[in-house]
Structure 1
Amino acid sequence: MKKLLSLTLALVMALGLALPASAAEETADESLARITKSVKDTLDLDTEDYDDFWGERYEDGLTGVWDLYWSGLDTDLSVSALDDGTVISYRAGQPYTVSGSETFPTFPQGDAAAAARAADDFLDKVLTAGESVELGEPRGMDTLGGDSYRFSGMILLNGLPSPLSYSITVDAADNQVRSFSRDAAANVFLGDVPASAASVSRDRAAGLLTDTLAVKLEYVREADSSTAVLRYLPEDTHAFYVDAATGELLDMTELEEQMEGLGMGGSSSDNATAGESSDSGLSPAEQAGIAQMEGVRSSDALDQSLRAEAAYGLADYALSSAAYRLVEAAENGEEDQVLCVLSYMRPEEDGSRSRTITVDARTGAVLSVSSRAPWLEEGETPALSRAEAQTQAETFLAAFCGARWKDLVLYEDSPADTEDQRPYDTFTYVQQVNGIPFPENRYTVSIDSADGSVYRLDYNYDEDVTFASTAGIVGEAAALSAWAGTYDTVLAYRLVPRPLDGSHETEARLLELGLTHFYELRLTYALEREDWCPGIDAATGKPVVPEKQDTAITYTDLSGSGVKADVEKLARYGVGYDGGRFQPAKQLTQWDLVALLASLDGYRIDPETADESTRDAAYSAAYRMGALARGTRDEDSAVTRGQAVKCLLDCAGYGPAARLQGIYTCAYSDAADIPEADLGYAAIAQALGMAQGSYRGDQTATRGELASMLCRLLER
C-alpha cells in the first residue's frame, strides 16, 4: 500500500518566499502528483513493488526542487527533480549499505561497452533539448573489488562546453544505472542559453586574450636541489573572457569580486594570521627538563629581550604563557632546536589584542610573530598611512635581517582591504640576485596600523643556494610568445556575473535574499590548456614540462616466464613488488608472501630493501587479513605450495569450509599423498584453478607460483 509519509517546503517556509507562479496555482499535493508522474514517465519507472512513498520540496532562491522517495522490502529509490520535471539526481538501491572493505577482493568483471550503452540510454531520458554528453573512459573498474563504472564530465550545450556537469554510475554486474546527478541551468544561472554561433572570430579573440598575458623573470629552485634556475613565470594578472557575440573583453576577476563581496563585513579578529598554539606537546616535567638544558634561556629572560625591542610593541601587553617545544634536527649532525612560544594579551574596550612570538630558546632569535586585533570600524581611519607603515617595515627589516637587507627588494604588498578594514598593512621582501628576484628567500612583515609595531613576521632564507647565470637567456618578448603558445583559445558557454534589476520574479527573490549580482550564461572565448605548465625556461625559451610520475608497477625480468601474464595482470591493479624485479623463479619465503599480500592493502614494497618498520607494517596487514597467526613470524622460512594455498584461502574466507572433514575428493595425480587435514584446501584450490595436475603440497613454492595462485583466487 502506498503511503504519503511527509511533505515539507523547508526553504519556502523559512524565508517566506512565494512558490513560482506555476506552483502557486497548485496545491502541494497536486504539485507532488504532477512531478511524480513526470518523473515516472521520464524514467519509465515501475513503482508497484514499493510499499512507501513521500516527497519533500525546497527552494534555493532560483527554483524549487522536489525530492521523491520510494521504499520497499528489498530496495529503495530516490529521485530529485526541478519544478518543471527536470531530473537532477537518481539513486537506486539501499540508501545505507554495510561496507565490504574487509572482504578479500576480486578482479573487476564487467562489460565496459554494455555499461556505456546503459549510461547513454539513461542520459537520453534525462537530458533536455540542446544538451548532450561525451562519456569518455569510465572510472571505478581499475582497482581490485571494483563493481561499477562511473562516468562523469561536462554537459555540452548546443555541442559546446558549458559549466554544467554530470555523473552517472552503472552496476558492472547487471548494467543497471545505480546513481545519477547533474547540474541544471535553472539552478545555476539566470536566463536562457545563448545561440551557439559566434560573431567574433577565434583569431580576434585570441589576440585580445593573449594581450592580457604577462610574464616576469625569476629564479626558481629546482626540485631536490640547491640550484636556482631562471624562468619566466606568469604575472598574477586578472582572468579574462571575450564575449563571442560582441567582442567585449570581460575582466572576470573584477566581476567575480562583485559576487564574492556580497554579504561580507568586517571581522573582529584577524583570522588570516591566527596565532600559534600555546600547546607545547610537552608535559610540565618535560618543560622543566628543557629549561634546565644548557644554553636554553628562561622565559623571563626571553620576555625581557623581546620587550627591549620597541618594534614588537609589547609595552602594554602582559605575558600570558610561555611554552617550550623541542624540534628534532632534520638531518644527522645538526643540533635539535628548542623553541619557546611566548603569548601576550592586551585587553581593551573594543576587544582584546594578542601577540604570539616564537623564538629560538637558546639564542633568543625571533622566528615568527602573529597577532589578533579588532578590525577597524567602517569609515575609521588607521593611525598610520600605508606609506608610514612601509617605512616602519623597512626600518625593522634593515635591523632584523642584517647583511641580507641589502639584497632584499619589495616583491609584493597587501594593502589593508578598504571594506574589511584589516588593522595592519603587509609587505613582502625577497632576495634579488643579478637584478632578478628569488621569492623563495623572503621576509613577510605586517605592520600594526594603530601603533607601527610588528603585527606579523614570517620568513624563509637559505644561504646555500647557487644561482644560474643570466648569460644567453631569451628575452621577455620571446618568453611571452612561448607562454601564449601554451594556450588554446576555446569557445564555450561560461558563467558571467551580471547585476540584478528585479525585472523577473526569480531576480526579485534573489534581491530579497540580499544579492545584487548573479550569473548569466554567455558564449565566450577563453584561454585554456590541457596540461599544467609552470612557466618558460629562460635558457631554452621552451615551456617547462613537469615530469609525470609513473606509479604503475613494471618488471624487467619476466621475458620468457610462464607466469608473465599473471604477474602483469596483478601489476595493473597495483598488486606486486616494488623495485622493478619480480624474480618469478625465486623460492618463496614467508616475507615474500607477506610483502605480496600487503600490496593488496595498498603497500608497495621492495622485499630486498624494506626496512624494519615497513616489514612490521606488512606483517600487521597479513595478520588482519588472516593469512598468518600472530606469533608465527619467521621471515626467512620457506613456504610450501600447500602453505601458500592455505594462507590465500584463509584470507579469502574459505578456511572454515576447507577445514570440514570427510566431504572432499580431489582429482590430482598425487591426491593419495595429500594429508586428510589439507584435503579441503586442496579441493577448493582445484575448483578455483589455483592448482592443477599435481598438488605437490610439500614442495617449496616460487614467487611465480604464488602470483598465479593469487590471480586465480582474484578471478573467482
Structure 2
Amino acid sequence: MKRLFSLLLSAALLTSTALPAASAADAADTTLTRLTQSVKQTLELDTEDYSSFRGDYAEQELATVWYLYWDGEDSSLSVSALEDGTIVDYSLDADQAVTAPGQSMPAFPQGDPEQAKAAAQAFLERVLDPTVESVVLEAPSGLDSLNGTSYRFSGTILIHGLPSPLSYSITVRAEDNVVTRFWRDVPETSFLGDIPASNADVSQKQAAEQLQSTLSMRLEYILPEGADTAVLCYLPNPVHNFYVDAKTGKLVDLTELQQDMYLFGGENSAAGDAAAPESGLSEAEQAGIQQMEGVRSSQTLDEGLRAVPEYGLKNYELVRSTFSVGEEEEDGQVPVTCLLQYSYSAGDRVSTRTFTVDARTGEVQGIYSYLPWEEGDKAALTSAQAQSRAESFLQSYYGGQWSHLALYETSGQTVEPLDDSEDGPSYVFQFARQENGYFFPEQYYTVGIDAKDGSVCSLSYQYDPSVSFDSPEGVLSDSEALQAWMDTYEVTLGYLLVPQPLDGSDPVEQRLEQMGYTSYYNLKLGYTLERETLYRGIDAKTGEPVSYAWQEEPEGLTYSDLEGHWAQSYAQRLAQYGVGYGGGSFQPDKPLTQWELVCLLYSLQSTPLNPDEADEEIRNAAYSAAYSMGVLTREERNDTAVLTRSQLVQYLLDGAGYGSVAQLEGIFTCAYPDRDSIPADGLGYAALAQGLGLVSGPYAGTRSATRGEAAAMLCRLMER
C-alpha cells in the first residue's frame, strides 16, 4: 500500500514547492495528491515508515486550508497547508526515551541553543516566501525551566523587512535539534487584498507629530509600593489606538474601525451573588469561641441595616446570613464578617440585595444588588438626581471622608448611564479622594443608586486616612510631561491590519457579509507608537518614567553572601531555575539540617522557602513533598538534625531513584582515599556518588555536611 501511495504521488511530477490554486474542476483526490507532494518536497519529508495517511480540508472565511495526517508505529505527523503549498502548521510527535533510573529528581535542561537556532533558521527558510517574508530569530525560551527538552522561538514575520501583524512559533527538540512544532499566520487567511509596497511617502517626524496629538495626561497622586506618602504622577488618559497612513499621512482611529467591523453587536451581562466563604470552628474549641467574642446576631445586624432608610430594605426580606472568621491580622485581631442576603419578589421578578458587614460593629463593608430590568422599564429619577442622592448618602454616613472626596471622571470614564435617555437598573458614581486639588483614585467610594426607587444598591470603598501627600510644588508642566511620555515611545513604520468596508464584489466578501461583517482587514503601511517597556506614567517632579511595582522586583533568587565562595557557581546555577533558599542569603558554610535540605529540595517543585520563617503548615507541606520524592520517610523526620555527608548523599540518591541500586551488596567499589572508613551498608551510595561526580577527594562521610556542599552535590546530580 505504501509503495502504491508513493507511486501515485510521484506521478504528479511537480517541479516546485508552490502550487497553483486548485480549479473548480479539480477533484479532492487530485488536489490532495498535488498538495501532499508539494509539502513533502518543501519539508524534505521521508514518509515511508508511516503506515497510514489521510487528508481533509476546511473552506475558511478567506481561504481553504488542507490538513494532512501521517501515522506510524513510533510517531505521527500533521501538516496544515494552503492549496498553493504554503505551510501553515507542522507537528511531529515521536516517542521519547525515558531517562533512567527515576524521574522524581529533575535535571538541568540539555542542548545547544546555537545549533537549535540554526535548525530553526533552516526550517524557516524552507517555509517562508523569501521574496517577501523574513524572520530575525530572538533568544529562545523553553530551557529556562528544569526538565526542559526543547527550544521555542517566536516572534513577528517581517514583510519587506518591516514589522507586520503576522506571527510565528517554532519548537526545536534539544537532544537532536529536530523541529517538532511550527505554526504561522499567513496573508491568505489574515487579510483581504495584496501587500502594499514598503516605501513611505510620509516622514517619521510628520507621523510623530500627529500621533503625539492623540496623547493626553492627567496629574494624580499615586502611592509607591511600600511607601506611606503619595506622590504626584502624570498618568496617561485612556485613548484609542491610532496609526498614521504612510502613503496619505492621514491619522486613523484603528480602534473605531475595529469596533465597526461587525453588523451584529451583543452585550453579555451577568449578575450573581459572590460566593460566601465557609465558616466554622477550629478543632481547638476554646480558641474558636474566643474568635466569635463580641459578634452580633444576624437579627441585630439586620435591625441596624433597616435603620438606614437609604438602603431601601422596607420591602426586602432577610433570607440568609453567613458568618465567616477571617485570618488573624497584624494587631492580633481576628475579623469576623457577616453576609446578609435580602430578597424582594414582585410578580415574577426577584430582586436581591447583599450586604457584607463587620459582625462585631455592624459597619457596612460592601453592598451588591441584582436588579431585574426588562425592555420598556423606565428610570424614576435622572442621573443628576441619582448623583445628588449618592452625595447625600456619603455626606450623612461618611462625613469625615466626604470632605476629601470628589466625583471622579477621566477621559474615557463617565457616569453610567451616559445620559438621561438611556435607562438602566442603576446609576453608578465613583468618588475619589482629592488632596491639594489632585485626585488619589487608589482611595475611593463607589455608590450605586437604584434607578427606580433611589435607594443605595451598591457600595464599595477603599480609604486609609493615614496616607500622607507630597507637596505639589515644583511639578512639571503638562507639555513637559507629555513630551517626556512621548519620548518613551518609538515611532515605528510597519504593516498593520486595518478594517476596510466590504462591497460584496466577490464570493469571499459576500460570505463575510453573510457572517455579519461590514468591513474586514486589509494590510496597510503605517506608523504607530511602540515601546518595549510598560510604564505607568511620568514622575511629576523628575520627568522620569514610572514603572509598576512588579517590574522593580528582582527576578529569580539572589544571595548577598556568596561572592568568592567555592560553592558560588553551584548555588547560582540552581538559582537560575528558582532552586535554593528565600531570604537573600545562602549561608554556604552553615551546617546543613534535615529541614534545610527539605527546603532546598522543595524548591525543585515549588516556591523557595526561607528556612527560618516557614510556619508549621509550610513545614508539613515541604516534608510531604520530600516523602513523595522518596528522600526520607515520615519516621525519619527530625527537623533540627544536622546531616552528615553520607546522609546527604543517601537522601539525594534516594530522591533521584538510585536507592534500590545503591543498596545492592557486594557489587561496588570506589577509589576514595578514605575508602576503608566507609561502612559496608554505605558503600553502594559512596560508589554511586563517585561515579556520578557528586563527591571528589575524600568521602568524609561522618563529617557534618554544609549548605554549600548540598548545593554542589544537587547541582552535579542534576547535570546528569
| TM-score computed with the length of structure 2 as normaliser | 0.88
Post-superposition Cα deviations, 1:182-234, rounded to whole Å, max 9, x if no partner, equal: 12222222222221111111101100111111111111112123211111111
The Cα shift of 1:123 comes to 0.7
Trace 1:234-249 onto structure 2 (pairs within 5 A): 234-249=236-251
Q: Which moved more, 1:586-595 or 1:49-58?
A: 586-595
Q: Percent identical across equivalent pairs?
A: 49
Alpha-carbon offset, residue 556 of structure 1: 4.0
CA distance in 2, matches of 1:590, 1:279: 37
- Paired position in structure 1 for 2:11: none
Corresponding residue number in structure 2 for 1:174 = 176
Does the alignment pair 1:277 with 2:281?
no
Task: Output aligned runs, 1:111-122, within 5 Å.
Answer: 111-122=112-123
The answer on 1:76 being equivalent to 2:76 is yes
Which residue identity is paired with 1:241? Answer: Y
Counterparts of 2:289 and 2:278, CA distance in 1 = 12
Counterparts of 1:586 and 1:310, CA distance in 2: 66
- Of 463-472 and 366-375, more deviation after overlay is shown by 366-375
CA gap of 1:263–1:309, structure 2 versus 1, over 3 A, is farther
CA contact (8 A) 1:376 1:422 kept: no
Alignment of 1:686-697 (within 5 A): 686-697=690-701
Q: Residues 355-390 of structure 1, C-alpha deviation per residue, up to 9 Å, x if partnerless?
A: 22333344443332222234442x765443333333
Query: SS of the residue aligned with 1:595?
Result: helix
Give me the whole-angstrom Cα distance separating, in 1, the residues matched to 2:676 and 2:361: 79
List per-residue Cα deviations over 1:123-169 (Å, max 9, x = no partner): 11111241111111111122222221111111111111111111111
Aligned to 1:402: 399
Q: Specify whether residues 400 and 511 from structure 1 end up closer, same or farther in structure 2 by C-alpha distance, changes over 3 A only.
A: farther
Which of 652, 656, 662 does residue 656 from structure 2 map onto?
652
Instruction: Compute the displacement of 1:552 (Å).
Output: 3.3
Instruction: Select the residue among 620, 630, 633 that pairs with 1:629.
Output: 633
Contact 2:103-2:656 within 8 A present in 1 as well: no
Q: Give the structure 2 partner of residue 10 of structure 1.
A: none
- Counterpart contact for 1:321–1:344, Cα < 8 Å: no
CA distance, structure 2, for counterparts of residue 144 and residue 63 of structure 1: 41
Distance 2:431 2:327 in 1: 29
2:514 aligned to which of 486, 489, 512:
512
- In structure 2, C-alpha distance between the alignment counterparts of 1:192 and 1:121, rounded to whole Å: 27
Question: What's 1:85 paired with?
Answer: 85
Residue 124 of structure 1 aligns to a residue whose secondary structure is helix
Offset of residue 50 of structure 1: 0.4
Q: 1:338 deviation in Å?
A: 2.8
Partner Cα distance (2:431, 2:359) in 1? 26
Shift of 1:290: 9.0
Asked if 1 retains the 8 angstrom alpha-carbon contact of 2:603 and 2:609, the reply is yes
Residue 7 of structure 1 corresponds to none
Match of 1:639 among 632, 640, 643: 643
Please state how far the C-alpha of 1:609 moved relative to its aligned partner. Answer: 4.6
Give, in angstroms, the shift of residue 521 of structure 1: 1.8
Partner of 1:588: 592
Question: Equivalent residue for 2:321?
Answer: 322
Q: 1:625, 1:309 → 2: CA distance? A: 59
Q: State the AA in 1 paired with 2:73.
A: L
Whichever residue aligns with residue 647 of structure 1, its letter is Y
Task: Name the counterpart of 1:501.
Answer: 503
Distance 1:251 1:560, change over 3 A: closer
Partner of 1:344: 343
The change in CA–CA distance for 1:603 and 1:436 in structure 2 (over 3 A counts) is: closer
Identify the match of residue 454 of structure 1 among 436, 453, 456.
Answer: 456
Which deviates further from its counterpart, 141-150 or 632-641? 632-641
SS in structure 1 at match of 2:524? strand
Partner of 1:14: none
CA distance in 2, matches of 1:111, 1:199: 44
Deviation at 1:297, TM superposition (A): 4.1
d(CA) in 1 for partners of 2:422 and 2:175?
56
1:35 maps to a residue whose letter is: L
Distance 1:280 1:145 in 2: 39
Cα deviation for residue 493 of structure 1 reads 1.2
Q: Could you tell me which residue of structure 2 aligns to residue 366 of structure 1?
A: 364
Q: Which residue of 1 aligns with 2:417?
A: 416
Give the aligned partner of residue 152 of structure 1: 154
Paired residues of 2:156 and 2:167 also in contact (CA < 8 A)? yes
Deviations 1:622-665 (Å, cap 9, x if unpaired)?
22221112211223333222222221111111111222222222
Q: Distance in 2 between matches of 1:383 and 1:248?
A: 46
Residue 313, structure 1, aligned to residue 312, structure 2: yes
Supply the AA of the counterpart residue of 1:343: Y
Q: Is the CA contact (8 Å cut-off) linking 2:493 and 2:527 kept in structure 1?
A: yes
- Which residue in the other structure is 2:430 paired with? 428
* Structure 1 counterpart of 2:400, one-letter code: A
Tell which deviates more after alignment, 635-644 or 91-100.
91-100
* CA distance, structure 1, for counterparts of residue 691 and residue 118 of structure 2: 34
What 5-or-longer segments of structure 1 have no aligned partner?
Answer: 5-19
Equivalent runs, 1:602-617 vs 2, <5 Å: 602-617=606-621
Matched-pair contact (CA < 8 Å) for 2:494–2:525:
yes
Q: For residues 663 and 456 of structure 1, what CA distance do their matches in structure 2 show?
A: 76
Asked whether the 8 Å contact 1:23–1:31 carries over to 2, the reply is no
- Tell me the secondary structure at the aligned position of residue 546 of structure 2: coil
SS of 1:48's partner is: coil
Q: Which residue of 1 aligns with 2:108?
A: 107
Q: Is contact 1:240-1:253 (8 Å) kept?
A: yes
The Cα shift of 1:263 comes to 3.2
How many Å separate the matches in 1 of 2:292 and 2:652? 55
> How much has 1:21 moved relative to structure 2?
8.6
Deviation per CA, 1:501-554: give whole Å up to 9, x if none.
222222211111122232222111111222111111122233224562223333
- Indicate which of 246, 256, 279 corresponds to 2:258: 256
Name 1:550's counterpart in structure 2: 554
Shift of 1:266: 5.4
SS in 2 for 1:352: strand
Query: In structure 2, do the counterparts of structure 1 residues 387 and 556 end up closer, same or farther at CA, with 3 Å as the change threshold?
Result: closer
**In structure 2, how many angstroms separate the alpha carbons of the residues matched to 1:513 and 1:478?**
48
2-structure distance, mates of 1:305, 1:533: 46
1:134/1:471 CA distance change after superposition, 3 Å:
same
Structure 2: which 5+ residue stretches go unaligned? 5-19
Give the Cα–Cα distance (whole angstroms) in 2 for the partners of residues 181 and 505 of structure 1.
27
Mapped contact 2:151–2:173 kept (Cα < 8 A): yes
Cα–Cα, structure 1 residues 292 and 559, in superposed 2: closer, same or farther, change >3 Å?
Answer: closer
SS at match of 1:631: helix
Counterpart AA for 2:544: K
Q: Normalized against structure 1, the TM-score is what? A: 0.89
**Alignment of 1:522 onto 2:541:** no
Query: 1:328: Cα distance to partner?
Result: 4.1
Choose from 202, 213, 217 the match for 1:200: 202
Distance 1:157 1:527 in 2: 19
Q: Which residue of 2 aligns with 1:15?
A: none
* Counterparts in 2 of 1:290 and 1:584: CA distance versus 1, 3 Å: closer
Corresponding residue SS for 2:145: coil
- What is the aligned length? 693
Cα deviation for residue 282 of structure 1 reads 4.5
Which residue of structure 2 aligns with residue 465 of structure 1? 467
Tell me which moved more, 212-221 or 516-525. 516-525
More displaced stretch, 233-242 vs 672-681: 672-681
Greater Cα shift, 583-592 or 205-214: 583-592
Structure 2 letter corresponding to 1:396: F
Q: CA deviation at 1:23?
A: 6.2
1:352–1:500 Cα change, 3 Å: farther
- Which stretch of structure 1 is more off in the superposition, 638-647 or 316-325? 316-325
**In 2, Cα distance between the equivalents of 1:308 and 1:585?**
67
